[in-house]
Amino acid sequence: MANPTRTALLHWTVVVPIIAVAALALTWGRTLPIAAVVVVALLLAGAVLAAVHHAEVVAHRVGEPFGSLVLAVAVTVIEVALIVTLMADGKPGSETLARDTVFAAVMITTNGIMGISLLVGALRHRVATFNPEGTGGMFATVTTITTLSLVLPTFTTTKPGPEFSPAQLAFAAVASLGLYGLFVAMQTVRHRDYFLPLDEHGEVLEEHAEPPTAKAAGISLGLLLVSLVAVVGNAKAVSPAIESGVEAAGLPLAVVGVIIALLVLAPETLAAVRAARRGRVQTSINLSLGSAMASIGLTIPAIAIASIWLSGPLVLGLGPTHMVLLALTVVTGTLTIVPGRATLLQGGVHIGLLAAFLFLAVSP
CATH number for the domain harbouring residue 306: 1.20.1420.30
1 part of a folded domain? no
> What distance in Å separates the CA atoms of residue 279 and residue 288, rounded to the nearest whole number?
16
* Residue of 355, 360, 292, 351 lying closest to 147 (CA atoms): 292
8 A C-beta contact, residue 144 and residue 303:
no
d(CA 8, CA 199): 34
* Closest alpha carbon to 347 in 107, 116, 124: 116
- Within 13 Å, how many C-alpha atoms sit on residue 357's CB side? 32
Residue 2 lies in a domain: no
Query: Is 122 part of a structural domain of the chain?
Result: yes
CB contact at 8 A, 142 and 107: no
Residue 92 lies in a domain: yes
pLDDT of residue 63: 66
Q: Report if residue 246 sits inside a domain.
A: yes
- Count how many Cα atoms sit within 13 Å of the Cα of residue 31 in the half-sphere of its side chain: 2
pLDDT at 29: 73
pLDDT tens for the 364 residues of the chain, in order: 444 444 444 578 888 889 988 988 888 777 778 888 888 888 888 887 787 778 778 877 776 566 667 766 776 776 777 677 667 666 666 778 888 888 999 999 999 999 999 999 998 888 888 888 889 999 999 999 999 999 999 998 888 778 888 899 999 999 998 998 888 888 777 777 777 776 555 555 555 456 778 888 888 888 888 887 887 788 777 777 777 777 788 888 788 888 878 877 887 888 889 888 888 888 888 888 988 888 888 888 888 888 777 777 788 899 999 999 999 999 999 999 999 889 999 999 999 999 999 999 988 8
Residue 277 in domain: yes
Say if 3 falls within a structural domain. no
What residue numbers bound the domain in which 355 lies?
10-362
Q: What is the pLDDT of residue 358?
A: 94
**Side chain identity at residue 206, one-letter code:** E
pTM, to two decimals: 0.81
Residue burial 315-336, b: 16+ Cβ < 10 Å; e: rest = bbbbeeebbebbeebbebbeeb
Q: Residue 309, exposed/middle/buried by CB under 10 A (0-12, 13-18, 19+)?
A: exposed
Say if 261 falls within a structural domain: yes
Structural domain tally of the chain?
1
Adjacent-strand bridge partners of 342: 128
